[in-house]
Structure 1
Amino acid sequence: MKNRPPTLTVPLAQDLHFGVTERSNRLINYFLGGYFLLGLFLAPFYGTWLIAVGVGGLSLIAYYLVKVALPDSCWYQYVLSVVLGIFMAQFIYQMHGMFEMHFFAFIGSALLITYQNWKLQLPLLLFVLLHYTLFNYLQDMDMLSQPSNLHLQTFTAHILLTGVICFICGLCAFQLNKYHQIQLIQTEQMTLLQDAARLTIVREKNAEALEERNMILESIGDAFFALDKDWAVSYWNRTAEKILQKTKQEMLGRNLWDAFPTAVNSVSYRQYHQATNTGLAVHFEDYFALLDCWYEVSAFPSPAGLSVYFKDISERKQSISDLKESEQRYSDVFHFSPLPMWVVNLESLAFMDVNEATIEHYGYTREEFLTMNLRDIRPESGIASMQRALDQGDSEPDAIAHRQMVHRKKNGELMNMEIQLAPFRFKGVKTSIVIATDMTERLRYTKAIEQQNEKLLAISWMQSHVIRAPLARIMGLIPMFIDPKTTIKEKQDIGEYLVLSTNEMNNVIQQITDATGSVPES
């Protein structure tokens, strides 16, 4: 029994026919427009305007009317075959039987190849045969005014030549359609083979994925088990064996609640039932008293049952408990410190927490502080210096810094504060804890001492320079005054100089007395 040749599937054949037809229709539209314009171009030679417009226009109307009226039929293609023959006859008539116009029949036959339907050659061939016959008959009867250029031999040659051309074009259309179908059949078969190959690959990948899944479930750090709709265990990995102290052989096929009866009505029991009833995953923590352990559990429902991941978090629970105790100790140290302390957000500069000493020292309530930022406790003149300090802190984010700053109380009073800043994370936010020491009184006394020292330096300078000059004059004049050789006139002059030097010294002493007065309060 011979194998039947492969055929195209119906959808693929329809797609083939539609694609070929659409491409051919677009091509024919251009040629029909060109034929009509060619008729208008030929009209002036012999005054055939009526033929060019009438015959050419009616031919186009007939073609497009059939195409629109029968959109799902191929009849318009047969009409097209006749229309191409009519245009050939029109051009022959317009050019008074010019031999070259007969070649438009061959052009039309070649155009019809694009539809890949050999039967379209038949209407054109019949029309050409009818035209040549009628044309020859009318010439023989002397019923045409055009000169006779078509003899019997020429007529026969034209008919044979046209038949051969139409046969060749029909054969080309047939072979083109045949090879096109073969190519598409091969493409379809190749597609089917590729689909089969992809299906095989998918099955192999699924098998590999299943094996890989089992390997992953056995190697993950979390314990895992799977349950069917009846709560029977269908999978139990090694970590579950270790944590729950039940082997895989013990658990596979066994009802979970029969294996752990004390877990009935526990948090896990209620959460598992909630997941299966709602179809939504659940995440929770549960304490298993039998093993004295805390577990973090995630359960994911599916049409097949329930998949459960869990891990022992007993150490983490203990760490959290220790951390809470540490936080409480920090809170006590922070809130009961006698020095002002606060925590500030390093990005927004907002106060995140303040202790009682800060509230008492600055005069704001805790609620007011928690709506403020660092700029609110700085005078306008200190904002720029604060920004420079922050920029410096950005370049050394982990360093403990010491700063001297001017702060402002709620009543407007300014204070000189010594600031110590240490970066740390507070409630998950990058912050800095600040300890402030009020240096206002200390700086006031330091300033007073510095002023007193300046005055003492001035007194020392007056003693070493200003007093020395009149004293030296007095010491030099006294020996001259007591000298017996000094005349009375000279003694009078010396006495006047002594009085002047004494007055000058008295003025200097008075200035020293004034400078040693009490230091004014700042």
Structure 2
Amino acid sequence: MKSGYPIIPIAADPLSQSAHFLFAQIDAQGNFIYANAPLTALLSLSLDENPSQIPADQCMHHSDRALFREKLALCFSQPGIPQHCTIAYQTTHPVTIQWEMITGNDTADWIQAIGYRLSTEAADIHKARQKTELFISYLDAITDGFFAVDRNWTFIRVNSLFEKVSGYRQEEMLGRNFWELFPDVSEQPYAAAMRKAYETSETVSFEQPWPPAYHFTVSVFPSREGLACYFLDISAQKKHQLALEDSQVKLKAILDSTTDVNVLISADKKVLNFNQMAAQYARIYFNRSIAVGDDFIQFVMPETLEAFLNHFNQALNGEKTTIERPLPMPNGDMFWFELLYYPVYSEAGQLLGVAMNITNIDGRKKTEMKLLQQYDKLREIAYLQSHEARAPLSNILGLLNVLMLYKEKYNDPEFLQIIDYLNNSAHRLDEVIQRIVLTTRD
């Protein structure tokens, strides 16, 4: 041993010379203070170097370095309490060492580590145990549920989410038969699905409601050892889906209760949705049923095809258009309809297609036309009154003006009274005709 190295405690001195045990002293920074000959040879350490410059983890497998640092820190934070760890080293040949590390007292600034090399079989068992523990910790950390049963339906593994969902603790399930805890009843989807996976050795996926709070999508994977079941909580998605389906049912009920024809058409002119009235019109006008996926062009009258394509393309470009036009009925009569085209977007703003709404406005339109006819009649009457009646009245007013010039030459009171009466009546009639003309102009 090179001079200047710290003195080995008497109790540990025999170990420093042991050919079977590995012995080392390590400071708080994780560097070697001392390493006995077997450890030096095993890890190919150079005794000519100052050990304090050699990190104790320099040959460790990268996956074990964090564990070593953790145990080293525990030694100093919990003096006198042994810390155990199994560390793999990467030297000329893979080496695995089982260590026990401990500090001598509260004031010690180094720890002593005693270890022995594991046989290849023991190292393999340790690695397998490490991988198993890592896999178990992974299963407990994931948000998915997991459990596994052997070929006898005995629980061999469950994770924390399955504990929470099932209501059973892990120790209550491991070693128990699956069907003892979860009955094999026909109304539960899991029963038939797990039986099918077991009997056919095929992966089976299904949805499993778990009242009151959960809904899962489950996949069952068979193997020679048994069944592994993974389940994902889709409660939020299912709740959203049910709410969406409920909204769709209500919307369809509203659309089906209206007397308007309503059709949602994709950009490539395929039927995406339609209401009951649209189905009725398709049978009446085209003698065929309408279905989702149909080419909508076959439900457009040839004489209106050009106008339809024009307004449809305007709606695809984001425009909303409304037109009124008469359309022929099967019996040959003409009925007026209002046709509304407008774009329909998803919540994300993506164009879904064009909605076409057709409203029968025949009653309203014919009433409007009748009112227009009546208005034209009134205008005609006003014209007659303003021109045909106005001309004679103008003559009367002219004669009255002449008679008024002779008024002073006549002393007959009765004659004068008649002249005044005619003059007043003629002017009142003139005012009435003027009001009629002004009213019709407004």
Q: Which category of TM-score, normalised to the shorter sequence, fits these structures?
A: 0.3 to 0.5
More strand by share: 2
Query: Larger radius of gyration, structure 1 or 2?
Result: 1
Give the TM-score, by structure 1 length.
0.41
Q: Which has the higher helix share?
A: 1
TM-score (norm 2): 0.47
